[in-house]
Amino acid sequence: MTNSSSENFVLRENCPQRRIHYVLNGKWTSMVLYALSHSAMRTGQLERTLPGISKKMLTQTLREVESAGLVKREVFNVVPPKVEYSLTPLGETFVEPLQALYDWAARNSEALDQLERNIQAGEV
């Protein structure tokens, strides 16, 4: 599958592959990035696009992906204030691997459903 030198590289503390997990650690992170891959959005639009996310969690997630350099926050000098979020060029490069992950989840939805049932039953 992989050779030991590349595997050791991936397992090192500060390798890029390991650092990406810090960025994607949040439950909503990938979904926020995916939503923004379609168009720039305001906070309210994102809330409507992502049912179940609280305003507090959305704000926290947006701050995290902004500080990671994946999302740009643009404040417009208008009344009432308008803030819009969009992917940065770095964030745009993440769309393809994210789509691959979502495609994998769709192909394996039955196995993932079974895993969730096992977890809820305390079998995992």
Task: Give the domain ranges of the chain.
Answer: 4-93
pLDDT category at 75 given cuts 50, 70, 90 is very high
66 touches 43 (CB < 8 A): no
CATH number assigned to the domain covering 4-93: 1.10.10.10
pLDDT category at 57 given cuts 50, 70, 90 is very high
| Eight-class DSSP state of 72 | E
Q: Is the pLDDT of residue 18 over 80?
A: no
- pTM of the full structure: 0.81
d(CA 35, CA 14): 29
Q: Side chain identity at 19, as an amino acid letter?
A: R
